[in-house]
Structures are given as C-alpha cells and as structure tokens.
Structure 1
Amino acid sequence: MDDKLALPVGTTLDRFIMKKQADFPYATGELSQLLRDIGLAAKIVNREINRAGLLDVTGAYGQQNVQGEEQQKLDVIANIRFIRALRNGGEVCAIISEEEDEIIHTGNNKGKYIVAIDPLDGSSNIDVNVSIGTIFSIYRRISDSGCEGSTEDCLQDGTRQVAAGYIIYGSSTMLVYTTGHGVNGFTYEPSLGEFFLSHPNIKSPKTGNVYSCNEGSVNSFPEGIKNYLNYCKENGYSARYIGSLVADFHRNLLKGGIYIYPPTAKAPNGKLRLMYECNALAFIVEQAGGKATDGTRRILEIQPTDLHQRCPLIIGSTEMVDKVAEFMKSEVKAEEAVKV
C-alpha cells in the first residue's frame, strides 16, 4: 500500500493540549479539559451536519434569535450540543451564545471560565453544501468563585481572552485554535474519531491578492472602503466571497487575503457580533501575524457594552489591513477639509 494513502498517525488534539498545559502556570488542567469538551462537541455537531441531507435537520426552525434572524434547525441543534458539553464538562460558570438572549448559567459556580460561542455560523448555507463553522472564545472569570457568572465576567474585551478558535465543517472538518502561543490547526479523521495536528504554527502571509466582501451593498459603504475596493480591482485582485464567515476567514488566513464587513446604511454599526465572532477571529489572526480592526480601532481593544453588540470587521493579512486604514484616514481628512 502506498504510504501516502495510509491513515494519518500523529499528534491528536488531546495529546497536543496536554503537552501545552505548561503554557498556563495558573491553570491546573481546567482549560485543557475545556478545550477537549469543545473538541468533543465539535465531533457531535460534525456528525449531525454530515447526515443533514438524510434527516429532517435542514431549513428554518420557525423562530428568530435575539439578532432578529431566522434560526435554522441546525443552529438550534448545535447550540444545544455545545451548551450541553460545556455544562457537563464542569469548567465553565457561564456561557453566552449568539442564539440565546441572556447569560446561560451552568450551575457550576466554581467554574473558572466563561465561554462566548457562535454555535453554527453560516448555517443557512447548509442546504446547499457550503462550508459552515463554529466560533468560540474563552475568558477567565473575574468575579469571585462560588457566585454565578456575572455580566462583568461576560463583557471583557478581547485582549483578555485566554483561548479562541473555530471549527470549519467543509470538505474536511478542522479545528483551529490559539491560547496566545501561536495558532494550530487539527483535521478530523472520522474513521478514528480523532482530530490530528495537520497545520502546526499557522502563519498568515503578510499580504495577498484576495478580498472577501459582499459588494451587493457597496453603494452604502464608507468612501474609504469604496476606494479600497477600487484599488483592489485596479491591481488585479480576486474577489472571493462565500457568505460564510468562517470559510472566508479560513481561506484568507492560510493563503493571504482580507475580509471586509463595513458599516452600511442598513447596519451602521456593522453586522457581525463582537463577542461571538470578531474577538475570537481577531485573536487568532493576530497570533498568526495578521491584523483586525473596525476601521479605526484594534478589535481586541474595543470594550463591549452589550452581549450582542455589533461591530464592523476588517481582518486579514497585515499589509492589506494597513492599506484599508490608509484609505479610511484619507476619507476622514477629506471630510475634515470639507467642514473647514
């Protein structure tokens, strides 16, 4: 048998997490267990997604979430699976989910951690077999142990994340995460039921020639963003927009590129959620050598004021994000000149 066709044998997610436990002198195994709980839930959700066409789990659920968006059946299933895994794991005192209005108290008031999660990003694409994903952030609680997790625990800025990651369910299922010591990716081997280290120490290219943006709303974009998109076209860049945030981000992280979701007339504060999407991906991209801003501020330094706060997002290769910033600054100068 050709060695290239043999099943992968290497470092599993569990083994990797155990080896990296020394990176956290304050931890006594709880964070490692929490990451393993997320990995377990990812396997279960992956199973549900892979048989979506055979079971009645596609399509709309018939309710709206707190964002005013119609929930898909798989949104609800993934939300239940991840919350159940985090509750049963016993390391989390509170969870906030894009699919839930309020803080979810786990009943484990001695838990050291808070998890913010988008259980299934891009789930409306499941009906047409487009890649979708899960996004998560982990914070240490700042309230006293023994009490329920508080709003203050849940509304920490992105610099205080101790871990963040995403799972992409596509042609293969991958879990990518960081604990502030680089970014590593693990590919799921279904016949063995294990995530194996496949993308160690991911480094995003400093620049690229791909931009990901929904240009259907371009007429209501800020002038600086319009000018940057024109710059991309003049320089022969390629437009690649899947409409599934995790899939667009994952491609650009590995190959170089930029993802842009600016404010628009319909969504003046942007559409993406700071706590469930932007913070986690910003932490990951910075650890891989990239950047993330809302157009003027570093994403990780934005102080959240609401569990479901929205935020513009410009994220990707460093030189490309810096170029957007140049166009945005030029727009501000032009506006100031008009005022004078």
Structure 2
Amino acid sequence: MSEMSEMSEVITLHEHLRELDEELATLISRICELSILIRRELPHRLGKAGTVNISGEQQTKIDVWANDVFIDGLLSTGLIHQLASEESEDIVEYEEGTGAFNITLDPLDGSSNIESNNLFGVICGIYDASTPLPARGRKLKAALTILYGPLTTMMYTAKRGVHEFVKGRKHNLEDVYYLVNEHLQIPSPGKVYGVPSNREMWLPEFRHFIALLEREHYGLRYGGSFIGDTNQVLHKGGFFAYPAYLDRPHGKLRLQFECNPMSLIVEEAGGKSSVGMGSVLDVEPTSLHQRVPLYIGNVELIDQMETLFAKCRDARLYY
C-alpha cells in the first residue's frame, strides 16, 4: 500500500484484524473505539485539572477523564487481567485469574500540547496475561499508537509488521479506521532528527553524535510529544532521542508506558531502539514507573551511536 494515498481497494481495521486471534482483535478494536470517543470530547474538557500524576506532572482535565474512560472501557471487556496506566500509581487487576491480556497505557501522551493545538496521542502495550507487569518489552504480544493531529491515525503491530490506518476517508464512514500503509518501513537513509533542549546537560558523546547528524544535514523536527516526534521518524527516517542527561541519567520517558510499545513498533518497522547500549526491549524492569534513556531510528544510525557511546568510560550511565 502506498503511504496516505488513494487505494483501489479500501480495507477497514475490522477487516485487517481478522488475521489475528479473536480476543486480540476485539481488544484492539475497543481501544480504537475509545480513542474516537476521547477525540470527540476534547473541545469540551480543556484546562488544568489541578492535580499531578504519579510522576509529578501536572494533569489536564482531559488527562484525568481519558484515563478513567480507558480503564472503565477496557476492564468492561472482560479481556483484561492487569492494567497499568502512566496516570495511576498502581496496577489495576480486574479479577484474579481472569482476562487474557495485561495492558500498559499512556492515555494521552503529550497532553500538554493540547492547549496549543499540537500533536498528542495514545500509546498502548499488550501482553499475555501470563506475563505479569511490569514486563520486558521483548514479551509484548502487540503494541499500538493513536495519533491525534490534522488526521487521526492508528498504527499497530502484532509482531507481523506495522500497519497504519486513518480515521475516516472520502465517501466512507467517519468513525471507521481505514488502511493507508501496510507493512510500513522506516525510510533509509533518514532525513530528520528530534531531540529535546538543554544541550548544556547532554553527555559529551551524545552532543558529538548530534553534531554528526547536523553536519550530514538532517533536519530538526521536535514538537514535544513522543508519539508525534516518533511518527516523523517512522515516515521520514532518521533519529529520535530523549537521552540521558548529566543531571538525569535515566532520562524522562517511562519504560513500560512509552518506551517498550514504541520500540516494538520501531523495530517491527525495520528500525532499532537503544538505551545507549542494547535494545530497549531487553531491559529488565525494576519498577512500574521506571524511566530509561531512549534512542530510536534507522538501524545504521543507532549502530553508529552505540559505537560512539561504547567508547565512553561512563557507559553505566546509559542504563
């Protein structure tokens, strides 16, 4: 399928999910249904909630509401044994011994962008119920993202490639997701890179690596939402990082809720993930809200970066 193009054959998400087992297909469909409900409600729930989440971040009204919608909507399917949300301190268990899946959820990644009408979305990881949370990313059964932008798009992988869908198409139902890119692959060579600010706190070898990208004329694309910035890399090729800092050696992003699901999608699309030395997906979790440095992008770029980092005597900082 050509990317975001008119197709002679229109395939819905429901039709595409027939390739999966019925329970997994039902769960993915339910997540997408809830995402449409949340999109509709966005204009009516603007503003700060006056609360902070477990990570100490200010919550918006839509953060709190979306978290409740996802928890209630997913638990009601009877398919969930354990559910962990970035917005909640503890794991929610439906009933002991029931439900086929454990799920990790970032209900609204980049929600601080809502006020300025910029990109944000949903990140979700799905494990078999036999894999208790927190878990290594390598044990993921599936992962998906939903990006709220000029278009609402959804990507999922069930470890058989990455497939992208758009909500609504000309002459079709608005609230149905339609396939626009089957077996998405990260373009190579890459064109863009995304990194946060505070360069004075970057480790020297990371500063050197970014200088190499800039000399090779990679274009800076950084919008402040992990899902949006990674979407740039998935479609244009390149590199994204939320790195280790001198004063924050474990970075900012959460392993369970952000790094693992997105790293699976990137690797299934032909890219590579890293914590500086080794794949994000191989990190053994130590806590539910654990943070790790994250570097993702084209394989050759991550390999180049890891070679540079390996020369550092302080390599322990990357774990």
SS in 2 for 1:89: coil
SS in 2 for 1:166: strand
Give the Cα separation in 2 of the matches to 1:188 and 1:172: 7
In structure 1, the residue matched to 2:200 is 219
SS in 2 for 1:258: strand
SS in 2 for 1:269: coil
Shift in Å at residue 111 of structure 1? 0.4
* Structure 1 residues 311 and 6: CA distance shift in structure 2, 3 A: closer
Give the Cα separation in 1 of the matches to 2:254 and 2:188: 26
2:49 equivalent to 1:61:
yes
2:134 equivalent to 1:155:
yes
Q: Gaps spanning 5+ residues in structure 1: where?
A: 22-26, 143-151
Aligned positions of 1:244-259 closer than 5 A: 244-259=225-240
Indicate if the aligned counterparts of 1:40 and 1:85 stay in contact, CA closer than 8 A: no
Shift in Å at residue 235 of structure 1? 2.0
2:188 equivalent to 1:206:
yes
Output the aligned Cα RMSD. Answer: 1.9
In structure 1, the residue matched to 2:37 is 44
In structure 2, the residue matched to 1:313 is 294
Indicate if the aligned counterparts of 2:192 and 2:232 stay in contact, CA closer than 8 A: no
* Number of corresponding residues: 308
SS in 1 for 2:87: coil
Shift in Å at residue 8 of structure 1? 9.2
Give the Cα separation in 2 of the matches to 1:257 and 1:14: 31
In structure 2, the residue matched to 1:301 is 282
Give the Cα separation in 2 of the matches to 1:109 and 1:219: 50
Indicate if the aligned counterparts of 2:191 and 2:236 stay in contact, CA closer than 8 A: no
| TM-score using structure 1 length | 0.86
| Equivalent of residue 194 in structure 1, options 171, 176, 184 | 176
Indicate if the aligned counterparts of 2:102 and 2:127 stay in contact, CA closer than 8 A: yes
Give the Cα separation in 2 of the matches to 1:208 and 1:106: 43
| TM-score using structure 2 length | 0.92
Give the Cα separation in 2 of the matches to 1:6 and 1:275: 36
Indicate if the aligned counterparts of 2:194 and 2:220 stay in contact, CA closer than 8 A: yes
Aligned positions of 1:109-124 closer than 5 A: 109-124=97-112
The residue type equivalent to 2:12 in the other structure is T
SS in 2 for 1:331: coil
Give the Cα separation in 2 of the matches to 1:175 and 1:82: 16
Q: Gaps spanning 5+ residues in structure 2: where?
A: none
Aligned positions of 1:90-109 closer than 5 A: 90-107=78-95, 109=97
In structure 2, the residue matched to 1:148 is none
Aligned positions of 1:2-17 closer than 5 A: 10-17=10-17
Larger gyration radius, structure 1 or structure 2? 1
**Paired-residue identity, %:** 33
Shift in Å at residue 326 of structure 1? 2.1
